[in-house]
Amino acid sequence: MPSKPASSSFEGDFAPGEVLIGRYRVIALVGEGGMGQVYLADDLVLGQPVALKFLPPHLAERDGGLERFRAEVRHAREVTHPNVARVHDIGEFQGRHFLSMEFVDGEDLASLIRRIGRLPHEKAAEIGQQICAGLAEAHRRGVLHRDLKPANVMLDGEGRVKLTDFGLAVSAQASGSSALAGTPQYMAPEQLAGLPADERSEVYSLGLVLYELYTGRRALRGRTIEDLRREHEEGPPSPPSSVLSEIEPLVDAMLTRCLARDPLQRPSSVLEVARGMPGGDPLAAALARGQTPAPEIVAAAEVKGRLSPRTALLLAVGSLLLFVGFAFGRTWYLDRVGVSYGKAPAVLDERARELFSQLTSEPAPGFDAHWYALENKFLPAGEQGSEATPTLGLQPLLRHTRFGPEAFTPAGGFVSVFDPMPTPGTAHVVLDASGRLVSWTHWPTSIGKAAPGTDVDWSQLFALAGLDMQAAVPIEAEFVPRANAGERRAWKIGDGPWRVQAAALDGRPVQFELLDGERSIGWPPAPRPDVSLWVILGFTAVAALVAWRNLRQKRAYLSGAVVVGGFELATHLVLAFDGTVPTDPMGFGASLFLVLAIAAGTALRVFLFFLALEPFARRHWPGALISWTRLLEGRFQDPAVGREVLVGSFAGICATLVIVLSGAALAALGLQTVTVGLLFGILGISSPIQTLFQVVHFWGDTVMYGGIVLALLVAFRTLVRRAWLGNAIWLVLASLMMSGFNFEYPAMIAAMLGALSAFLVLLTRLGFIAVVAFAGVGGTLTSQALTLRPGDWYFASGLISLLVFGLLVVWGYRASLSGRAAVR
């Protein structure tokens, strides 16, 4: 679009001062060409100057002319970027179609080159980077310009580039037409041959424009299509250095690549061109302009540092050895302290059915649900260092079984102690890993009075719990039974805090449980009113509003959100098929539908939060997202991605080992007890397939919560405007939260502080993938049952975890090499 002339000698179809459609007052005709007349006008509504581009009548009457004109508006409005001239609207006046667009008060590049010749290298580099930035944004929006040439590159009065004239633009998906479109002197060889254009064709056109910008001469001298085709057949254009000897080798090499006759020999994208030219850091340029860099710019940013083949091999082998060592070491330690995973789930479940029949004189109902739980205070007396708190030989791993006369329909999708609430005919049995009774509760279907003289044989229940009733001291029963009862009893066991409380109805026990002081071992306290759902819904509503704003402002990474949301959906859906969801006799019950709904809701929330928060992180800390963005684009073998996976996995194992070993050392010194959660992993141990699905689900949660943690960290850094202060605040708060604000274990808080410091170092030095691998591997080590001892019933589950981890490490290792030899 030509600049505004000081005194226009053009005679346009509309006189200065004429008002079009009651909105635009014509000032002057400022340009005229094959694609129409361009007028400078005042927009009386917006109060600003605009350019009005009219479609020539002969083009409007030609097939496709009017549609191509409308396409210019449609495609140009999809591209919002400082280096692309904004298109406002389309209108019609006296049968003439026009579009209104941003008026650039300046000069087009073709006119500038004709007037002064080649530009100084510094100015050429600056203009070239801006052309690349605008064109890259168009490609990101799926739009090919198809008529890139110096005449369509405007420079305003401050030297800013504006790409104009998207009249021949098409969507990248619709570029398969072989119709010749564009200016032949700036077409790629395949376009002149009638083949479809793509991004590499646009790279060729970009190379021609930059060639002219740096040398002051056109790379192709032909004037007709036949001359140009002949010129292409003779070979590529002469390198820029043959025209200008002082041209930088970097520019000469890149432009030579851009002008390769074979499209596969050219750079794959405009961003690759920008990165290979002087000043080639589009990410830094976007941040300097105060913009949120596009995901493609982030993905194209340079990643410093690369693992040598030897280092990659050491990390991979070291990770596998540490994983195996952790599995053997934990098994050895559990044996040493006298705790174990006990009997197989099927054995414990059959034991629960036998207990039901034994205590009720009835067969066990046909419906049941099972799950594991941990009792963190169960530790061997020798480890406690005091005989005043015996553990009575109980194991910390508890197996829960719920019986019912009909299928369970829990509101949360999974059966728990309180979901669904117990009804008549149901029972709840809790056994420790060795099969000893910890808790028994029965809600009988009938209510009656006990027969005269009927006594409950409490010694039977004591025996089932592995206790000697003769050594128990009766005490006053001051509890309210969970089930309807006519008799209450309580006993104190030994000199420690252990107690037993029981209740009976009609001569049969309806409640029997072991307590540690006032706390029931197998029965957790009643849940408090849960407001988390409303909090989640509130945050989701806010995220939806922010996501919508980001979409409208074209800052949202929509394709990335779809990938992450789909990943979350898949990793949550697996729980519907791992055997933990109760179903009706037809095999497809309400609980399954609920789990599917929960999975879909979780995926939707992650999708919205990604759209809302990712642009914020991309604006304030894009360096942490470079490899992550590449991964979302499907670049699974990118060396930067492999490096982060490998280093993060190794660091995750090391951090977990430090926490576990420090806890064990403090316990050996009598300074604190061992946290059972670090010794036992209970996710998915019921079967190998459940283990696999739980591992997959766990990694989905790791990505989800890792993204939230990253957003919070960026928020702290941004709010206090000091990275180090934001890091410190986050470290302290996160350490306290992860340790449960339990100041009785300062060593555990210190261990968490160290682990989170490693998390922060990985995020700062590498990126988001590294911290996901770090947290995912550490969580796998502590949440999964790991053993490599074939005699253990959960051996297959341990192998599944090892297999998944091994695949992760092998992927990271192979990707980090990126085709290089394994050892050099």
pLDDT digits (tens, 9 = 90+) for 524-569: 877 776 666 677 888 889 989 999 998 888 888 999 999 999 999 9
3-state SS assignment for residue 570:
helix
pLDDT at 389: 40
Tens digits of per-residue pLDDT, 294-353? 888 888 777 877 888 899 999 999 999 999 998 888 888 888 777 888 899 999 999 999
pLDDT score of 746: 64
In 3D space, the residue among 150, 555, 554, 524 whose CA is nearest the CA of residue 371 turns out to be 524
Most confident region among 366-380, 635-649, 695-709, 738-752 by mean pLDDT: 635-649
SS3 172: helix
Give the catalytic positions in this structure: 147
* Long-range Cβ pairs for the range 798-805 (8 Å, 24+): 798/327, 799/688, 800/684, 800/688, 800/691, 800/692, 800/695, 801/691, 801/695, 802/323, 802/324, 802/327, 804/692, 804/695, 804/780, 805/319, 805/320, 805/323, 805/649, 805/777, 805/780
What pLDDT does residue 512 have? Answer: 94
The rounded mean pLDDT for the chain is 82
How far apart (Å, rounded) are the C-alpha atoms in residues 457 and 363?
20
Sign of CA dihedral 260, 263, 268, 270: positive
- Please report the pLDDT score of residue 705 as a whole number: 86
Residue 3 has pLDDT above 70, yes or no: no
Q: Which residues pair with 369 in a beta bridge?
A: 402
- Mean pLDDT along residues 381-394: 47
Lowest average pLDDT, out of 148-162, 202-216, 272-286, 540-554, goes to 272-286
Calpha distance 583→442 (Å, rounded): 22
Dihedral-angle region of residue 533 (phi above 0 means left; psi in -120 to 50 means alpha; beta otherwise): alpha
Q: CA 558 to CA 574: how far, in whole Å? A: 25
Please name every residue paired with 51 in a beta bridge, in sequence order, or none if there are none: 40, 101
Q: For position 300, what pLDDT does the model report?
A: 78
Q: Taking residues 159-181, report their average pLDDT.
A: 60
Q: Which two tokens stand for residue 756?
A: 């989170």
Q: Does the structure show a pLDDT above 80 at 452?
A: no
Of 4-18, 258-272, 628-642, where does mean pLDDT reach its minimum?
4-18
Q: Which residues contact 671 (CB under 8 A, 6 or more apart)?
A: 747
pLDDT at position 674 over 60: no
Packing angle, helices 688-720 and 795-817, rounded to 10: 50
**Which of 5-19, 199-213, 404-418, 784-798 is the least confident region?**
5-19
Which pLDDT belongs to residue 446? 65
Side-chain half-sphere exposure of 287, counting CA atoms within 13 A: 16
* pLDDT exceeds 50 at position 158: yes
Q: Where is average pLDDT lowest: 75-84, 433-442, 629-638?
A: 75-84
In this structure, of 118-122, 425-429, 575-579, the range with the lowest mean pLDDT score is 575-579
pLDDT given for residue 167 in this prediction: 53
pLDDT for residue 821? 58
Please tell me the distance from the alpha carbon of residue 83 to that of residue 86, in angstroms, as a whole number: 9
pLDDT tier at 2 (50, 70, 90 boundaries)?
A: very low
Tokens (6 digits) for 685: 């141990």
Average pLDDT over residues 651-676: 74
At residue 502, the pLDDT reads: 93
